[in-house]
Amino acid sequence: MITYEYPFNERIRTLLRLEDLYEKFVFFLNQEHPQQHHVALSTIFEMLEVAGRADLKSDLLQELERQKQTLLGFRANPNVLPERLDAILAEVDRASAALMSAQGKTGQNVRDNEWLMSIRGRTIIPGGACEFDLPSYYAWQHRPAQARINDIAGWFAPLHPLFEAISVVLRLLRESGRSAKLIAQAGSYQQMLQGKVYQMLRLSVDDALGAIPEISANKYMLWVRFTSQDGDMKPKSFESDVPFELTLCNF
């Protein structure tokens, strides 16, 4: 099964983009080749671009508090395990406290590093990070792999509380929805949402079908149109029925 996610608002779209960048960063950081560490460092620069909104930190703190209050409302529910609920609440509190203690603007330590900013400025230019452009960076790339890993991890460390908070918020959001098994007749599916506000949609489809969902939604209607790709990767309408699993998430 392939799971596709669709954000209903710009805030969730930003969080999903940052989560995607973080997964890429962790993968390339844990490799050993200098070119892979170049991608890891470039990914930090991309994170700064996406996370540059001044209100992202306050948005996350508000969301964590909102989710905490919702969770506290489950204490009286006999179907909820108290130990499990307490563990989730503790996780929310830790993420909130760590994010609150983070000082300054997101990634300010990177912006204050003139050497890193010189690399960032050159990486914007195609092929701009060659050894004749950045000899000091070229020399750094020849340091032992573990030394490079330690350097990059140190530069990323002040960003870690932000990504811990993002991880908690998105995980709780994903777990908030209920899945339904549906069928898109002749590759198309519509559902009235009746003005109910959702934050994210998750759609799972069997990858063996070769059906790719194109999703559009607002607070009134959800529309899914499945396509397939031919030899030149150009999408075309999927004519057959498509069974899929749909989850609407709104914590």
Average pLDDT over residues 57-81: 86
Count of alpha carbons within 13 angstroms of residue 187, beta-carbon side:
16
Question: Who wins on pLDDT, 230 or 157?
Answer: 157
174-199: pLDDT as tens digits = 988 889 999 999 999 999 988 788 99
Query: Which pLDDT belongs to residue 250?
Result: 86
Topology, domain 177-249: YacF-like (2.60.440)
Average pLDDT over residues 15-41: 97
Domain residue limits, the chain: 8-171, 177-249
Q: Which amino acid is at 212?
A: I
Query: Which pLDDT belongs to residue 176?
Result: 86
111-147: pLDDT as tens digits = 999 999 999 999 989 988 899 999 999 999 999 999 9
Task: Give me the chain's average pLDDT, please.
Answer: 91
Alpha-helical (H) ranges within the chain are 10-29, 34-50, 56-72, 82-101, 108-111, 114-123, 135-141, 145-156, 160-175
pTM higher than the cut 0.95: no
The pair phi, psi for residue 219, each rounded to 5°, is -75, -5
Neighbour count for residue 17 (Cβ, 10 Å): 16
216-231: pLDDT as tens digits = 988 889 999 999 987 6
- 74: confidence class by pLDDT, cuts 50, 70, 90: confident
Topology, domain 8-171: YacF-like (1.10.3900)
